[in-house]
Structure 1
């Protein structure tokens, strides 16, 4: 009976307007996350120009991206503990200022090595910013508004990668590459000023000290894994540095898992969180969806190499994916509590698989309409999946674990993105080499190139197929699972800000 009343209460709140104070907090968080997403996607467009202007090889310039990814992995695991210890607004502002300082140093860089060092500073700030902002919204909004807020948080994640390449192309073509970093400063300053007025400084009661052993094991382990995966895109998984990095990284992460599973340990990411069905299934799905989204860098390459689209033309053809994802996430957020994570996730997964299956049939003569439809359907699927898994992630969790759970989920997603990029990069190179070897002059035609990309697209379908089992295991309702009633009541109660 209590469960039924709770479900009806949640469903009844779906269509209520979000309070103004909550919208202010959400607006600041979304602006900061969009800033980070745009920056991360614009930089890849400028790599070729950096090679020419700085007179350095591609292998060196690639570290502009790699250093940022490695720094992200340093900031993410400690973000949850830091937010609990020092307060959400304090850590949000700290991470935002760190990101902006890094942006300024990037724009002022007079050598590639100074640029790489500045990107490390940027990555440290960005790695903390997203999990702190997401955890703050989850804690402030309460369980009945969680789906609506998660649907809003999904918007920067899809708008950034969609608009970033287009904006980056315009800046690189008409301005200096430095403006990709300078443009962050006025937007970031506005975000910082708004944060001081809108954001609460929430702290966890009785926050424990930093898990020093966990930091020593987890942070270097994740950095080693991401480094190994990034190097695999150029030397393959058989390269010595890749094997050593991945082996060391996996060993250190496994040691952390054993450490975090011990009783009475307040770990950076507690292994005890996996006893909650929502967290366990969502973490697996975030990893698998990260694999698929990491493989998405192949899409613009296909459009440029097989269909001879310009950088701007390819970017515009990618826009429907972002539009579909944003529309699906925002519309489903209003009815999510009535439908439940499992149903939303299942429909989303079906749409994503259908969209990627259409990709496997692309060739040089595929019409723009077919490409737009495939992009849009895939985007709808991704939007629904992200909404389902990100909302289910928190079901039943004690309030004091929300920040740690958010940091942990971001780690799973980032590792998935890195692994997907590495695996698909190796697969695509293998397929292109095979097509080159099959032609007498080593120059495959458009049909052969399309075939190589088709075979690569099938890997995205396979990644999504692996997600079927964890998707159907998602909780069916927002309060699904065996959670003590007092924990549900505590989670639904508003969080008390510092000084209240």
Structure 2
């Protein structure tokens, strides 16, 4: 069914009192959990030497953290219903800060990996909790404030290696984790002062243990399988993930609103359209970030140390659009804004396909990446806002869990699809199919997925409801 148009708001109402205090606390949590996903990468050689362990073991300091982020994600909705969002956020931030200190005190590779797993389990709830708290507080004003939470999440993975390099130039790897302690304590104080008491909205319900036992491993198998797609365990993990997702789907249908995630949320056309949009958006974003460096290095001869400079217009495009989302959403509405953004990103990706065929032109590449970044930045926040606006306030915690899971699945799924296609074409390459043609075809596949994203945005509501 096509989503019915929601009534257009007239004069934009004033933002709720205290919203920026809540946003500031939420942004710190999202930023720190994402920063720690990449900040350790630079220190891996030092960890191999200091902890006397092979790289195959030390790499689990990073991989284990990323997998642990997904492990606790399905629990977020249930925990909020059980003890309240404020209590969950304070508990997770406290656990994240404590485990950061434990990581700094690690005496062996196994102890560091164990503490990183615990850190990831706490950090996995910080980002969805931040979204949920801001969505609750902002209501229909979400597009005006969401960029303040989303921007740090985008910047954190980019800043991680830079911060780590600066620390390692003057101190040991332990200070990478000790850095979290003062910021964590400051954030805890701010959370106590600024976050509203939401215990009145608590709706305790029993934990769906069967659903958790199906959904959490499914997410881990999906992430592990896509990261190791070229190895034997990769396809096996992906098959296991598919079976577990199917099993959870059947289980949740029987459980109804007592399931870990109530699938009836997806019966609302606007919520389904928002979820599909976020799935495809995350997919084309990560797939593009995978394909671009490979193309620049292997097909265009760009050195690896210059690749980041070539990709700067992509981030610049995103940063230019995010601060404008509130005004643009009020002016043009959800559907028109997101469809224009999706079309803009598709045109940018189409230019990449043309460049892959004709050869690198730095000026056109900059235009293509800026268009792609601006388009991607224009879709995410309005789509997320439409998803939250389509559910009742008591269902926001469960909607947060559902949207985060669907969004997180999009990245590895579509990245693996594009990587598998590229690998297949490269392995079958002959003289009549040069590398330029192969990358053109792969970017063409990415453009086709952008087309699906454009179609998905057309099913979003025209306007956010007035609340």
Q: Please say whether Structure 1 and Structure 2 have the same fold, judged by a TM-score greater than 0.5.
A: yes
Q: Does 1:411 align with 2:405?
A: yes
Aligned to 1:267: 259
- The residue correspondences of 1:20-35 to structure 2 (distance < 5 A) are 21-35=18-32
Distance 1:76 1:263, change over 3 A: closer
Q: Deviations over 1:146-189 (max 9, x none)?
A: 22132333212322234334444555566544444333332222
CA distance in 2 between partners of 1:247 and 1:165 (Å) = 33
CA distance in 2 between partners of 1:178 and 1:301 (Å) = 33
CA distance in 2 between partners of 1:460 and 1:180 (Å) = 37
CA distance in 1 between partners of 2:462 and 2:40 (Å) = 40
Aligned to 1:221: 218
Q: Does 1:469 align with 2:420?
A: no
Where do 5+ consecutive residues of structure 1 fail to align? 1-5, 440-446, 480-487, 493-500
**CA drift at 1:329:** 2.2
Secondary structure of the 1:207 match is coil
- The residue correspondences of 1:73-472 to structure 2 (distance < 5 A) are 73-143=70-140, 145-171=141-167, 176-203=172-199, 204-232=201-229, 234-235=230-231, 239=232, 241-262=233-254, 265-295=257-287, 296-303=289-296, 306-309=300-303, 311=305, 313-362=306-355, 366-430=360-424, 433=427, 453-472=439-458
CA distance in 1 between partners of 2:161 and 2:413 (Å) = 21
Distance 1:432 1:81, change over 3 A: same
Aligned to 2:11: 12
CA-based RMSD: 3.1
CA distance in 1 between partners of 2:308 and 2:166 (Å) = 11
CA distance in 1 between partners of 2:327 and 2:80 (Å) = 29
User: TM-score, normalised on structure 2?
Assistant: 0.87
1:34/1:157 contact within 8 Å kept: yes
**CA drift at 1:221:** 2.3
Distance 1:198 1:159, change over 3 A: same
**CA drift at 1:452:** 5.5
Distance 1:187 1:458, change over 3 A: farther
Distance 1:56 1:303, change over 3 A: farther
Distance 1:377 1:183, change over 3 A: farther
1:355/1:377 contact within 8 Å kept: yes
Q: Deviations over 1:50-83 (max 9, x none)?
A: 5676675554444333322221121111011111
CA distance in 2 between partners of 1:362 and 1:169 (Å) = 34
Number of matched pairs:
458
Distance 1:103 1:283, change over 3 A: same
Q: Deviations over 1:355-381 (max 9, x none)?
A: 222333446973544433333221111
Aligned to 2:38: 41
Distance 1:461 1:98, change over 3 A: farther
CA distance in 1 between partners of 2:46 and 2:311 (Å) = 22
Secondary structure of the 1:71 match is helix
